Each structure stands twice: as C-alpha cells, then as structure tokens.
Amino acid sequence: GKPSKILTLLLIHQNNQILLAMKKRGFGMGKYNGFGGKVEKNGESIYQAAIRETQEEGCITPTDAQFIGYIKMDYDCEKETLKVHIFKATHFDGQVKETEEMKPQWFDVAKIPYNQMWIDDQYWIPYLLENKCFSGYLQFEGHDKLIQADIKEVTNQ
Ligand code: 6U4
Ligand code: NA
Ligand code: NA
C-alpha cells in the first residue's frame, strides 16, 4: 500500500457553537474546518501536534482537548494515505484571531456550513457534537467525491 502520514484535526465546541476556520492556503483551501496539520518528526506526540497546530492557526490554546475520533483517508490523487486523529475541546486560553493560514468563525451547531466543508464532515461531526467516539475509513476520487465512506461510533464495552 501507500505510505501514510499522521495528521491532527481539532474542533472547539462551546455551548451551542462550533469554531471553524476557513483555510486560506494549502490542502483544503476554501473549506471551513477545524485546526490541524502534520505531526512533527522530532518526537512530538499526536496530542502535542493537535495543540500546536491550533496555536499556530487560531492563536488559541485548548485547555481540555480530548481525542474523539480517528479516520483513515485515501485520496487517489495523493501520494500518502492520511491518518487523521480528531480532537475536541470546549475551553481554550487566548483570543481567536485570523492568521495567514486560517480565518476563524463561530457557527451555531444548527447552522454548520457543511456545503463549504469537506464532504465527509457531515458524517462524523454529529458524533463529535454528542461526545461519541468514532472511527472509520474514507476513499476519495479527487477531493470532493467519496467512493467509500465507513464511519462508525466506537463504544467501549
Ligand atoms: P503545512 O505544510 O504546514 O501547510 P500542515 O498544516 O502541517 O501543512 P495540512 O494543512 O496539510 O498540514 O493538514 C491538512 C488538514 O486537513 C488536517 O487537519 C486534516 C485535514 N483534512 C484532510 N482531509 C480532510 C477531510 N477529508 N475532512 C476533514 N479534514 C481533512 O474534515
Ligand atoms: Na495546518
Ligand atoms: Na504544520
């Protein structure tokens, strides 16, 4: 199979709102998403990368981040499979600011702009909002067409 790379994605869900950010450059440009990126190869943990990327992209430091989901993403047009580790936080230090990479914006959870987001987000954000852990696999044709989507709640028994 293809080589893979480990990525993080962190969403802030506070009261009845979710913080998303319009990505201004690079992978996913023009889409609203959480904060995230690649884990550094210097011994950084996935959790540390999730916090660092949120600091770099949103200028805030999540204070109660928890791992909530894992999705393996296969893009036919990308050299590497993405292993995306998703975190949720409800509190943070600092003030949300626009950066060179991201333009953040709060949305009511009833008005999440799914039509301006990655096509898979509508499948797993509902789990995140309900604090349910989830895991799954996505296979893309290009960046906007899903040819396989298998995301399920993960329960500990
Ligand atoms: P650099 O090299 O710093 O610009 P970096 O910020 O490290 O890159 P980047 O921006 O490539 O990493 O990370 C991609 C981000 O997009 C990660 O947070 C994962 C996220 N992502 C990729 N595919 C996604 C998808 N289908 N649905 C989704 N997020 C996705 O919700
Ligand atoms: Na990033
Ligand atoms: Na990065």
Which two three-digit tokens encode residue 43?
């011994």
Predicted confidence at residue 154, as pLDDT, reads 97
Q: What is the ipTM of this complex?
A: 0.95
Q: Is 118 in the pocket of ligand 1 (CB under 6 A)?
A: yes
Give the nearest ligand 1 atom to 27 CA.
Answer: 11
Q: Report yes or no on whether pTM surpasses 0.95.
A: yes
Cβ of 54 closer than 6 Å to ligand 1, yes or no, is no
Beta strands in the chain (DSSP E): 4-14, 17-23, 32-33, 61-62, 66-75, 81-89, 92-93, 102-108, 134-141, 145-153
36 lines ligand 1 (CB under 6 A): yes
Q: In a mutational test of the pocket of ligand 1, which residue from 5, 7, 100 has the highest number of ligand atoms less than 8 Å from its CB?
A: 7
Nearest one of 38, 33, 57, 37 to 121, comparing CA atoms = 33
Q: How far is the CA of 30 from the centre of ligand 1 (A)?
A: 12
Per-residue pLDDT tens, the chain, 157 aa: give them. Answer: 899 999 999 999 999 999 999 999 999 999 999 999 999 999 999 999 999 999 999 999 999 999 999 999 999 999 999 999 999 999 999 999 999 999 999 999 999 999 999 999 999 999 999 999 999 999 999 999 999 999 999 997 6
Residue 103 one-letter amino acid: K
Q: How far is the CA of 7 from the centre of ligand 1 (A)?
A: 7
9 lines ligand 1 (CB under 6 A): yes
**So what's the pLDDT on residue 1?**
86
Predicted confidence at residue 53, as pLDDT, reads: 97
